[in-house]
Amino acid sequence: MIRNLKQQVLNYRRSRHQFILAKSRGKPLYVNYYFLGNEFWRYAFLSFITVLFFSYFFYRSFFAVIFLSPIGIYLFLYLERAKAQKRKRCLESEFKDCLTLLSANLRAGYAMENAFLECIREMENLNGKAGLMAAELYNLKKELAFNVLVEDFFQDLGERSGLDFIQQFGDILCVARKNGGNLPEIIQNCSLQIMEEITVRQEIAATISGKVFEQRIMNILPFAIYYYVEAGNKDFFDVLYHSYAGIMIMTVCLFLYLISYFLSEKIVSSVG
């Protein structure tokens, strides 16, 4: 078990180093996300405050922070994964908008490379200069100056993002260029199919958004009920603290809460 934990730590450090290196080169990774700089300390503080709250709520002892520290570590890693998923969904949405603009530019008679470059200004108008796809199109513009092919760029972006349809888009561009044919028409048909797939995913996400909100409420509800009862009966829960029986009961409650939380997160993520 110790060896497995050590391996996980090494994998985390290696993946984090690759993330930082890719970011410094201007070709960010979207598969994972790692907090850096002030963001790291902000979320580390949030995780510590959460552990501190659990320690007081379940045991009314700040010494319990030592034993509940794995919860803080898990929360920190969970927030990193959530940020990675959010960035991927954002890139997915912006890529869909880019394909819409690309199809319009191709219908207007632009060559493939120029059609992508014309998308830069429109993407900045839609999402600002901080938009993920706008930054990627700027990278494409730079790489075109060094004779990098558009299909190679999108195949690389597909690998960095972990989004299959971006990888497929790059593969289709590669096959279309090699085999010839009506390239603008092929790209438009491919773009239409990918946009339909992304639209379906976004509709599913919108459908379950209400359930996700309900899940968040249910996660908070036990604490709200506790403090509601505590407000009306000052010493109602004192029997649960500073006794062996109380510690056992609160430990079981903590265990059940964590199990229900993990199950709800797994169900929502599997549906989404």
Q: Using alpha carbons only, how large is the chain's radius of gyration in Å?
A: 25
Of the two residues 180 and 154, the one the predictor is more confident about is 154
pLDDT reported for residue 181: 62
Angstrom distance (rounded) from CA 59 to CA 81: 29
**Listed residue (155, 127, 162, 126) closest to 140, CA to CA:** 155
Three-class HEC string of 44-109: HHHHHHHHHHHHHHHHCCHHHHHHHHHHHHHHHHHHHHHHHHHHHHHHHHHHHHHHHHHHHHHHCC
pLDDT value of position 34: 94
With both helix axes pointing from N to C terminus, report the angle between 65-107 and 132-144 in degrees, rounded to the nearest 10: 60
Q: Which pLDDT tens digit goes with each residue over 81-90? A: 989 988 988 8
Distance CA 52, CA 248 (A): 19
Gap between the Cα atoms of 71 and 110, Å rounded: 54
Mean pLDDT of the chain: 84
Is the pLDDT at 76 greater than 90? The verdict is yes
What does the pLDDT read at residue 73? 92
Express each pLDDT in 93-138 by its tens digit: 888 888 888 888 888 878 778 888 888 888 888 887 778 888 888 8
pLDDT of residue 180: 67
pLDDT greater at residue 12 or residue 210: 12
Distances (CA, A) of 53 to 29, 47, 48, 59, 253: 34, 10, 9, 10, 15
% of the chain beyond a pLDDT of 90: 17
Q: What is the pLDDT of residues 225-270, one digit of tens each?
A: 888 888 877 778 788 887 888 889 989 999 999 888 888 777 776 6
In this predicted structure, the answer to whether residue 26 has a pLDDT above a threshold of 90 is no
What's the pLDDT tens digit per position in 163-175?
888 888 888 888 7
